[in-house]
Structure 1
């Protein structure tokens, strides 16, 4: 009995596996967005678990004008004190009271001032809640001391308004929040990948464009 020849309806040869590009084209459009969201959520959650929590404490000092000055001058000096609070002259004294190097204070302490009130907010961030409070209080103490050394020239006295207290909760984002942020970013990247994804073909062969034939010969003689 002779073997049946291979025909398009009865293939006898080995079947070719679809390529990765073909499999990618066959996936539904929403799969890229879903995969990106899942991957981003996992990465964000792992990052939130691996990163140590950060604690923030804030101390406040206020500039008070003397009898030879006015509130406008106190407001201007409060802005100036907010800028010099993180300078080495102030941090050099604060590192003794905080028990950490000036470099740690430089990277972990930020100041903020208000255009309406002569107040300076000194915020410290650390992985340890008690250290965050100590850093903020140490910088506010050192800043007050340096400012009052020149009160005879500035006619402004810097006083402590509120001490920093030990924070009870971390100020950094929780793993749930970082996971949601990662999922959002992953879904966005999946949507961008969907825009550049190769489109699935229609399966119909391309037909050559029709070439117009020669126009019928016109009656050059016309009607007599």
Structure 2
């Protein structure tokens, strides 16, 4: 008579329960460690980017047609057309950068109190970032001067962009810190989302249910 095939050996339930508790205990530190490593790699692999800012100011060119309030309004309007193809198309010829790339690297900011426009350009090369910002300011100033007789307002260069010496993008240390925080948060969410048992486990895999209350002794000594 041949021997029957042996059944696969299953690990004890107590070992599985202990491993599960250990995994839950270390899930947040492990998530933070993995997130920190991923963030550090991202910061090292991603090229550094540099930002340069130039400033122009709107001034009344004809006091009979415009005043300070009018200049403020035109500054707001010119700030909205900084990324217009009519402006960036002329910048492309000066900076040698395609319009699509300029649209994603040029930003303008205006103030509600002062007729000033801050034009910021971002690039992987410090010199190119300054060149783009200055080119946008020059084109915008030229366009405003063509219509100054009609609007009574002109743009004047206030400050040219300088070549940045430090990158404006996040450093690997910062991206690693952000990754660690995100990984730890994700681990905490996993802990909160896990199903919870309604009964206690004694470590053997069998639920411990409350037993019946002991009955009173019928022959208690009076």
- Counterpart-to-counterpart distance in 1, 2:110 and 2:147: 20
Q: Contact 1:25 / 1:199 at 8 angstroms: preserved in 2? A: no
Task: State TM-score, norm by structure 1.
Answer: 0.81
What residue in structure 2 maps to residue 160 of structure 1?
A: 157
| Worse overlay, 95-104 or 78-87 | 95-104
Indicate yes or no: 2:181 matched with 1:184.
yes
Aligned to 1:45: 40
**Contact 1:25–1:198 (CA under 8 A) maintained in structure 2:** no
Return the alpha-carbon distance in structure 1 between the equivalents of residues 22 and 84 of structure 2.
58
Q: CA deviation at 1:196?
A: 2.2
Aligned: 1:35 with 2:30 = yes
Q: Tell me, what secondary structure is at the counterpart of 1:115? A: coil
Match of 1:61 in 2: 56
The CA deviation string for residues 85-121 of structure 1, in whole angstroms up to 9 with x for no partner, is: 1101111111111121222211110000000100001
Moved over 2 A (4+): 13-16, 18-26, 196-210
Structure 2 residue aligned with 1:105: 102
The CA RMSD over aligned residues, in Å, is 2.3
**Per the alignment, do residues 159 and 209 of structure 1 end up closer, same or farther by CA in structure 2, a change over 3 Å counting?**
farther
- Structure 1 residue 205: deviation in Å? 3.3
Q: Is the Cα–Cα contact under 8 Å of residues 86 and 109 in structure 1 kept in the other structure? A: yes
- Structure 1 CA distance, aligned partners of 2:150 and 2:19? 74
Partner of 1:213: none
Q: Unaligned stretches of 5+ in structure 2?
A: 1-6, 214-222
Indicate the structure (1 or 2) with the bigger Cα radius of gyration. Answer: 1
8 Å contact from structure 1 (residues 53, 172) kept in 2 = yes
1:195 to 186, 192, 195: 192
Q: CA deviation at 1:14?
A: 8.3
Aligned with 2:208 (options 205, 208, 214)? 205
Report deviation, 1:195: 1.2
Please say which of residues 194-203 and 117-126 is displaced more in the overlay: 194-203
Matches within 5 A, 1:17-166: 17=11, 22=17, 24-27=19-22, 29-66=24-61, 67-68=63-64, 69-166=66-163
Q: 1:16 to 1:74 in 2, by over 3 A?
A: same
Q: Is the 8 A contact 1:62 1:158 kept in 2?
A: yes
Structure 1: any 5+ residue segments left out of the alignment? Answer: 1-12, 211-224
Q: How does the TM-score come out when normalised to structure 2? A: 0.82
Report the secondary structure of 2:48's partner residue.
Answer: coil
